[in-house]
Structure 1
């Protein structure tokens, strides 16, 4: 039985960036999207007109559907998705409600062109350590959940980008790279409009680990140690990336929810 449900912008904001976040589907009309080409972080843009064709791809998953104000297009699309076995809700107030809450939005004009399957493609140097794992984590969690990452020989990054429609990152003399004291993660966070307090805190750790500045934050040394350990554990860069996703999930949740928590032992020692 189809059940109409909604989720508030604040509640959705707590889910975005986490590994179990629902699929976010934007079904605004082309006219509405042309007026504001930004997306809620992690969203994919699809048309309500052919939901019967693409909806089955999300069967067994949870999804949040948004349109301009969260009314007929979002509710109708969500109802169709529930018919197709998707746990679909709509965003309360839609895109305009999210915007009114002053929550982050991704400017799609900053994104590289998408391939025939709607994915952004990125390329960087093989054998990643810090930035080349942190940046893919940021992209997959907040920008494009289906993004593809190619790791190649350093000398071939630009040429591979040209021949395979991939955006080069974390190499010299490209847009997505270090700028002054900022590392590539900093640049992506700022360019994509994701400078929330938790991500800014995480960016400080990444910068400290990536640019030999452990003085920036005590945790930077721990991030570097874990990153170097992963690089020794995995010969396959993509396997290392998958393991690194969990590492950055944990650091992000610490940055967001646990920076004031301390730990000592024994915690329940009986006083004499």
Structure 2
């Protein structure tokens, strides 16, 4: 039996980390011609040239990382060996992008769907005093699209003006591309456009939609999400502090949607309901 290398991670192992706060930095070093032939990204990953090792080390700032090339051979294994020699916890993805693409259940984000970065990260703007979509969407972006994404919260009348002046992408405002579509909310739109389709995210999307559109019949958890969201908005005057607290709330909801949605609770144990 062939044992996995100590600096190797499988697509299945990486998939379990994506969407959680424990996910390492994912570095796509696929060369440009190969990427142009298949322009998709592993959720949350960023592209970086394999030759710019010092630049990558500065960007990682000591964080654990997974390095991905097309096939998981010379480019990624060589860079991982170099990084580990410099004291950085690095692993290469077995099978590379080909292995990820062909593994069951993996997600791939179309690169064309991601807005151009502003100052090194995507920049988004929406209405201030966020409740549901305006916290759920930033959570989705930071966990599955751009971990370094920045969010601006401004008065409703100024969203488009701020977007124009600062190159930010408006979301969850009337008339924006990244907003409600019919009965679907902005979270649904982002899942669709970013190709984020999994059982867990679909389950979570129903709860967000039910809470955001006052359709609590869609999921019993929707009323609870509304209550928590209103409570957070009352607890924090600063929208950025509220976003930080909301990230933890949606991390927990995602783990419920992925691993614990069928778990119940009663007391005393075994009592009739």
TM-score after normalising by structure 1 = 0.95
2:137 aligned partner: 135
Equivalents in 2 of 1:84, 1:208: separation in Å? Answer: 49
Equivalents in 2 of 1:268, 1:217: separation in Å? Answer: 25
Equivalents in 2 of 1:261, 1:40: separation in Å? Answer: 30
Give 3-state SS (helix, strand or coil) of 1:124's partner. strand
1:107 aligned partner: 110
Distance 1:268 1:61, change over 3 A: farther
Q: Which runs of 5+ in 1 are unaligned?
A: none
Equivalents in 1 of 2:182, 2:270: separation in Å? Answer: 48
Following superposition, the deviation at residue 83 of structure 1 comes to 2.5
Equivalents in 1 of 2:270, 2:260: separation in Å? Answer: 21
Equivalents in 2 of 1:156, 1:36: separation in Å? Answer: 38
1:191 aligned partner: 193
- Is the contact made by 2:118 and 2:168 (CA closer than 8 Å) also made in structure 1? no
Equivalent residue in structure 1 for 2:28, among 23, 26, 29 = 26
2:169 aligned partner: 167
Equivalent residue in structure 1 for 2:18, among 2, 8, 16 = 16
Runs of at least 4 residues of structure 1 off by over 2 A? Answer: 56-61, 266-269
Q: Which runs of 5+ in 2 are unaligned?
A: none
TM-score after normalising by structure 2 = 0.94
Distance 1:4 1:31, change over 3 A: farther
Equivalents in 2 of 1:4, 1:48: separation in Å? Answer: 21
Equivalents in 2 of 1:80, 1:46: separation in Å? Answer: 15
Equivalents in 2 of 1:81, 1:255: separation in Å? Answer: 35
Equivalents in 2 of 1:99, 1:151: separation in Å? Answer: 36
70-79 or 126-135: bigger deviation: 70-79
Count of aligned pairs: 266
Give 3-state SS (helix, strand or coil) of 1:122's partner. strand
Equivalents in 2 of 1:81, 1:268: separation in Å? Answer: 53
Instruction: Indicate the RMSD between aligned Cα atoms, in angstroms.
Output: 1.4
1:200 aligned partner: 202
